[in-house]
């Protein structure tokens, strides 16, 4: 199963794990970190030592456990504070405050496991495929078609509404495809039904059109 960062949550990852569902879902910072868009040292560069319950920063300093923050309806959040920032040559690339602080959710291993899976060859292939096939469609629906929210309520009604949006999207894609071939609709249908024409064949046309649809 593939999904975007909007579906990432520890609750969802726990459910998928319990149900034995093989999923690939990036967290909210995964893409930015992969593209190097974070200004300071990202959290993933800090290595967690489960046995000692501490982190190690990129400069190899130990960041010990400091305190717990109680949260209503959520597991306690653990804080780790570094005491060596003032003497570290990497401070400016790490933090603007006096001490770098790292937080850890008890379920964070689920995110770490998901990131490790996304970074495998299989995970990278699936993620890139989704980025090049699904994401552009959603972007076109939102930016070009102005579809940003459902007007109806309920699974059945919103399902019908989404089918209508997809139909409009697909008609536009088919029209653009036909235009690029320098044909009109009648000529294109004749090529599809009649078989080969000028190097084209039925399967090739159907395959290329299918790649443009949602």
Report the 10 Å Cβ neighbour count for 101: 14
The pLDDT of residue 186 is above 90: no
Q: What is the mean pLDDT of residues 50-68?
A: 96
Query: Can you give the pLDDT at residue 127?
Result: 80
Determine the average pLDDT of the residues in 137-150.
80
Q: What is the mean pLDDT of residues 148-162?
A: 90
Structure confidence at residue 203 as a pLDDT band (50, 70, 90): low
pTM of the model: 0.63
Confidence of residue 147 (pLDDT cuts 50, 70, 90): confident
Domain residue ranges in the chain: 5-118, 149-210
pLDDT at 36 over 80: no
Q: Which two tokens stand for residue 137?
A: 């469609």
Residue 103 is predicted with a pLDDT of 97
Helix, strand and coil content of the chain, in percent to the nearest 5, comes to: 50, 15, 35
pLDDT tens by residue, 105-138: 999 999 999 999 999 999 888 888 777 677 777 7
CA distance 153 to 144: 23
pLDDT > 70: percent of the chain = 88
Q: How confident is the model at residue 211 (pLDDT cuts 50, 70, 90)?
A: low
Q: How confident is the model at residue 152 (pLDDT cuts 50, 70, 90)?
A: confident
Is the pLDDT score of 140 beyond 60? yes
């Amino acid at each position: 199963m593939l999904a975007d960062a909007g579906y990432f949550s520890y609750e969802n990852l726990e459910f998928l794990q319990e149900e034995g569902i093989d999923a690939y879902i990036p967290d909210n910072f995964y893409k930015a970190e992969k593209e190097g868009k974070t200004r300071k040292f990202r959290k993933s560069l800090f290595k967690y030592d489960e046995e000692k319950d501490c982190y190690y920063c990129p400069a190899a300093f130990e960041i010990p456990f400091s305190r717990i923050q109680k949260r209503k309806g959520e597991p306690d959040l653990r804080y780790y504070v570094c005491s060596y920032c003032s003497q570290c040559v990497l401070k400016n690339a790490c933090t603007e405050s006096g001490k770098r602080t790292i937080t850890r959710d008890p379920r964070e291993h689920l995110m770490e496991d998901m990131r490790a899976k996304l970074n495998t060859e299989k995970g990278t292939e699936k993620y890139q495929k989704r980025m090049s096939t699904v994401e552009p469609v959603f972007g076109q629906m939102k930016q070009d078609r102005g579809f940003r929210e459902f007007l109806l309520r309920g699974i059945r009604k919103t399902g019908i509404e989404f089918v209508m949006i997809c139909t409009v999207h697909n008609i536009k894609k088919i029209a653009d495809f036909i235009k690029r071939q320098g044909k009109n609709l009648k000529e294109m249908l004749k090529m599809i039904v009649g078989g080969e024409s000028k190097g084209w064949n039925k399967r090739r046309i159907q395959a290329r059109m299918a790649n443009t649809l949602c």
